[in-house]
Amino acid sequence: MISDTISEQLRLPKIGQLGYVVPDVNEGIAYCREVLGIKPWMLLDEKPEPCLQYGKDVHIRLKIALAYAGPVQIELIQVIEGESLHLDHLAKTEGILHHLGFMVQDVGKRLVECQRLGIGVLQRGTIKDAGFTVDYAYLDTVAPAGIILELIQWRLGPISLPVNRLVFNAVCRAGSRTLFRGRVIN
């Protein structure tokens, strides 16, 4: 588990997401639906997302699926194209947890604090679609915490949004095509 020191130093909220890198998102969704009863799923369209990885600009194309198990979001990530730290993890530990995600109000301020504490950033990016923005940063925390920690912030324009099961279910009920890109799988 995360050391109390890291959690306290970063003033982390409760865990909001469990992220897994999988070889095939569709198979992952099927397993989670049929065996674990986790549904609905929001399957995001594949779209190249520029980001900084190890300080360098990279363009990767991912297939991402999101669902909730209780109050925690489950994220399945499949790399479709490009070099990504996700591939390193998949090659070493297929099916094992890749990261713990924390929903925060201001990724930028959190990263300033990380820098002050000597915690580096493995990957940082922004995903934009339909007026929504998701800022994220994977932190270099394997040594002190035993796992990658991710900071996640959702915004509508300049307004930070809460990300929880209630909001997720409302978006899923809006229809098979959501305000976000992608589709809902019940």
pLDDT tens digits for range 133-171: 889 999 999 988 889 999 999 888 888 888 888 877 777
Model confidence pLDDT, tens digit, residues 66-102: 999 999 999 999 999 988 888 888 778 766 899 999 9
Q: How many CB atoms lie within 10 A of CB 181?
A: 16
Q: What is the pLDDT of residue 183?
A: 73
Model confidence, pTM: 0.90
Q: What is the pLDDT of residue 48?
A: 73
Q: Which fold has domain 4-177?
A: 2,3-Dihydroxybiphenyl 1,2-Dioxygenase; domain 1 (3.10.180)
Q: Where are the domains of the chain?
A: 4-177
Distance in angstroms (rounded) separating the CA atoms of residues 111 and 6? 14
Q: Which residue from 107, 140, 148, 109 is spatially nearest to 125, judged by alpha carbons?
A: 107
